């Protein structure tokens, strides 16, 4: 398992918190990616931020593009005007699930369209 995938799995169960950056207090999807990859997380985004090009540019500034493989950061379209980030693990994804109010593992393929993949390591 890649270091990023292992770090994401270790965060399963952490409570959800919008704009959360510290696992002790809660994480959102951006905070999850920051915690799992050791990278800085942006701030100032809203609950609904459907500008995929802007999100992809922010990810391009931090990561290298890759394929959908374990340890990859996935940019997903979770709904109209709503983007979401997740970490690919071998048997599914780890993401901050607002509905479950925690970081969760979801088996299999993401249920949302994948807009891009970035290498979480390196």
- For residue 64, is pLDDT > 70? yes
Query: Mean pLDDT across the stretch 53-72?
Result: 93
CA distance 104 to 9: 9
pLDDT of residue 40: 85
Q: Is residue 103 within 8 Å of 11, Cβ to Cβ?
A: yes
CA distance 73 to 30: 10
Beta bridge partners of 16: 27
Mapped to the 3 state alphabet, what secondary structure does 23-59 carry? CCCEECHHHHHHHHHCCCCCCCCCCCCCCHHHHHHHH
Residue in the structure block whose two tokens are 């207090």: 25
* Domain assignments of the chain as residue spans, ordered by start: 3-119
Residue in the structure block whose two tokens are 């994948």: 114
CA distance 87 to 38: 13
pLDDT of residue 114: 97
- The pLDDT tens digits for 67-78 are 999 999 999 999
CATH class of the region 3-119: alpha beta
- The pLDDT tens digits for 16-43 are 999 899 999 999 999 999 999 999 877 6
End-to-end CA gap in the chain = 15
Residues of the chain above pLDDT 70, percent: 93
pLDDT of residue 1: 80
pLDDT of residue 10: 98
Confidence of residue 122 (pLDDT cuts 50, 70, 90): low
């Amino acid at each position: 398992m890649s270091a990023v995938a292992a770090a994401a799995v270790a965060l399963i169960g952490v409570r959800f918190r919008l704009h959360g950056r510290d696992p002790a207090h809660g994480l959102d999807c951006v905070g999850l990616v920051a915690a799992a990859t050791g990278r800085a997380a942006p701030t100032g985004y809203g609950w609904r931020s459907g500008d995929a090009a802007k999100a992809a540019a922010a990810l391009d500034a931090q990561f290298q593009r890759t394929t959908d493989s374990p340890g990859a950061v996935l940019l997903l379209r979770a709904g109209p005007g709503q983007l979401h980030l997740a970490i690919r693990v071998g048997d599914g994804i780890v993401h901050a699930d607002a509905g479950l109010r925690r970081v969760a593992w979801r088996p299999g393929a993401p249920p949302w369209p994948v807009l891009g993949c970035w290498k979480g390591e390196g």
